[in-house]
Chain A
Amino acid sequence: MNRKSILSIYRQLLREVHKQYTLQNNNPYWKLELIKIFRQNQNVNDKELLVKSNQDAFDLLSFLKSNRRYSELMAQSNKLYGLTEQQRIEKTANRVGLKTPSDQDILLPFESMPS
């Protein structure tokens, strides 16, 4: 564990967070939080703590990376991956030339009923 490897992990973490959070949500909160954590541990001299935090950072990086890779692969092989139930049903109906009824269509018979 040297200075270079820590900076490398930091750089890759920033990149992953940018891709997965900042770009997706248009919100730099996660990035700022990451920067804050690295800054907090900037002057740590305790060797054990250093090793532990470095391992944590490395674990987080592999988790973020593999999660993104997993989603990318799933999205490639499965068109319905990542859709909500509603979207999935709509797409399935469209596939056979049908449309899911709108809320209006469902409510209409009840509204026209004499009270």
Chain B
Amino acid sequence: MNKLNSLLLRPPLPASFFIFRQSHILVKSDSKRIPITTTTNNTTTNANTIITNNIFFSPRFYSAEAGLTRSNIEARIIDIIKSFDKVDPKKVSPHSKFADDLGLDSLDTVEVVMNIEEDFSIEIPDKEADEIRSIKDAVDYISKRDEAH
């Protein structure tokens, strides 16, 4: 247990930078066991019972992800609009306009824009929300907003 503890304290970076994968801190198989003679006390110890040299630390970085790609945003918006029950899913294409192609009235458009807002966790101010009249407008607007996710 002491060995394990000293092992965990070894990495030069703070422990929070690593997610320890338990499967990698397992006892090594006999075939790979190499007896190591330590110089200090002149006894042979099986230093490899716990893997010391082969530990695989998988770093996980908590930095921000790269922004959404345009195709990703488009696919999500199309999904939102297809799930809207007044819309015929077959008519939805990346270039559809809410009023002309999909037959939505102003109240429906507000609802659709709200659904998009909720899905991307952003708030769209009134002025800009009024200008979103097609799927393309929505994709353009969302790709401009960095905090959308």
Q: Tell me which of A34-42, A62-70, A71-79 binds B.
A: A34-42
Q: Do most interface residues of chain B lie in helix, strand or loop, or is the interface mixed?
A: helix
CA distance A35 to B85 in the complex (A): 13
Q: Judge whether B123 and A15 touch: CB under 8 Å.
A: yes
CA distance A14 to B118 in the complex (A): 11
Give the bracket for the number of chain A residues in contact with chain B.
10 to 19
Contact of A14 among B106, B110, B126 (CB under 8 A): B110
Q: Judge whether A42 and B107 touch: CB under 8 Å.
A: yes
Q: Judge whether B106 and A11 touch: CB under 8 Å.
A: no
CA distance A35 to B106 in the complex (A): 12
Residues of B within 8 A of A39 (CB): 107
Does A58 touch B at the CB level, under 8 Å?
A: no
Binary contact readout A1-34 vs B (1 if CB under 8 angstroms, 0 otherwise): 0011001101100110010000000000000000
CA distance A42 to B105 in the complex (A): 10
